[in-house]
Amino acid sequence: MSNSTSNSTSELLQISIAADKAAAKWGPNALLSPTQTGYQIHLSGNEPLRAIQKAGRSLDNLGVTQLQLTGDGWSKDLQWAFYQGFCNAKRHGGVTFSNEQGDAAQLEQLAQCFAFAKKMINDTPEMLSPVVLAEQAEAFIRSVAPEGSVNSQLISGADLAEAGWHGIYQVGRGSTRPPALLVLDFNPAQSADTPVAAALVGKGITFDSGGYSIKPTEGMATMKCDMGGAATVTAALALAIMQGLQQRVKLILCCAENLISGHAYKLGDIITYKNGTTVEIVNTDAEGRLVLADGLMCAAESGAPLIIDAATLTGAAMIAVGGEYNALFALDQPLATRALQYAASEQEATWQLPLEKWHQQQCPSPYADTANSRPVKGGGAGGASNAAGFLSRFVPADGKGWLHFDLAAAFNNSANGYWAAGATGHGIRTIATTLLTETSAK
């Protein structure tokens, strides 16, 4: 987001792009060199986006808090890469974008949506209970949507069990702060007869202790980010609305705290879902798929031909693709191919991992239709694909029209040369573009 209006642009550090190398006195490979009014970034090599992002990170590390991008060469993608590197967990603004190519308004929209998602993900678990997460997501969508275009339903606590949403209820019942399901209906036509074109489903685990399959301290310390899927799909919907979305879309957030208490769900419990599927709990730390199952069935009830879910679901995805990529799973290969193209167009690294119908059988149980994982560390080999296979039990039409994003790149516990510590927002642009493109084509 841009600097405050009290600062005139002439008072800000001016950041420009230089085509030539820095003067020798700054070193043979200097990325930045000072000018009379600020700094210039010296781009060389075949990775300009990474170089620009690294320059933004370097300027933040110098303590710069306000700056202006100026001069020639600032494409939309370069400006956005700089913004991503420059911002940190305490400051989501400070960049005045260049409008030389008419991109400033779109970049401000991106910044607004990313700032919302990052703040939510970086908030402490104490600040962000399941109900508060749902309420803040609803408020943000209402703030960007046309008046009268949003309706919502919030179901919480024991009412979830009464309504048949047993996955969210069971995972969240160990906390004194009730679990919640938000079903938000964005309907710009404001007609009840308008078909739902898409549904977005987000994992909203506001804190994950692992339950009785308790995480070690080093694994639990970052679990405020386990609602990253909910924040990501909310921001993606908001961005699509800002960019002119005219189709009816359902936003479904599955919110809970996974804690230990005398009322928490336990190993050996069996959950019976709305569609009749029975699930034995062999790992209470494989809770994300349990809440998403409810969300996916809710999405299916809407009749939406496109269902996209996003979740910080498995450590296995991070092992497979690292912290720079999100993992994509789909049974609908033509749709997956298009989604990868959308991700590439938005410069968000995404990699497809294997998913076949037989992955549904990879977590067998002698007591239920399936277990929620394998009772081994990390869920065993192929854990991310097995989790996706579990989810595929709860989507319609054998997975046609369904995409699952495992958000391996959503959060960094520590800073590096390109990212500050905390949430990244990685995936928001991909999902927004997928939503806009796929629904407009129908």
Which residue of the set 21, 76, 215, 338 is catalytic? 215
CATH number assigned to the domain covering 115-440: 3.40.630.10
Pick the catalytic residue: 173, 289, 374, 393?
A: 289
The Cα–Cα gap between 401 and 115 comes to 29
pTM of full prediction above 0.75: yes
Answer positive or negative: Cα dihedral of 413, 415, 417, 423.
positive
Every domain of the chain and the residues it spans:
9-100, 115-440
Q: Does residue 393 have an active-site annotation? A: no
Candidates 318, 324, 305; CA nearest to 387 is 318
pLDDT tens digits, one per residue of 95-148: 999 999 999 999 999 999 999 999 999 999 999 999 999 999 999 999 999 999
Quick one: pLDDT band at residue 380, thresholds 50, 70, 90? Answer: confident
90 is catalytic: no
Closest to 99 (Cα-Cα) out of 72, 81, 137, 120: 72
Angle at 254 between CA 251 and CA 258, to 5 degrees: 160
Instruction: Give residue 348's identity as a one-letter amino acid code.
Output: E
Q: Is 45 exposed, middle or buried (0-12, 13-18, 19+ CB in 10 A)?
A: exposed
Query: 257 has which bridge partners?
Result: 207
- Answer yes or no: is pLDDT of 265 > 60: yes
Q: Is 301 exposed, middle or buried (0-12, 13-18, 19+ CB in 10 A)?
A: middle
State yes or no: pLDDT of 324 exceeds 90: yes
- The token pair that represents 42 in the structure block: 């010296």
**CA atoms of 131 and 321, how far apart (whole Å):** 32
Structure confidence by residue, pLDDT tens digits, 16-45: 999 888 888 998 889 999 999 999 999 877
Q: Which residue has the higher pLDDT, 46 or 165?
A: 165
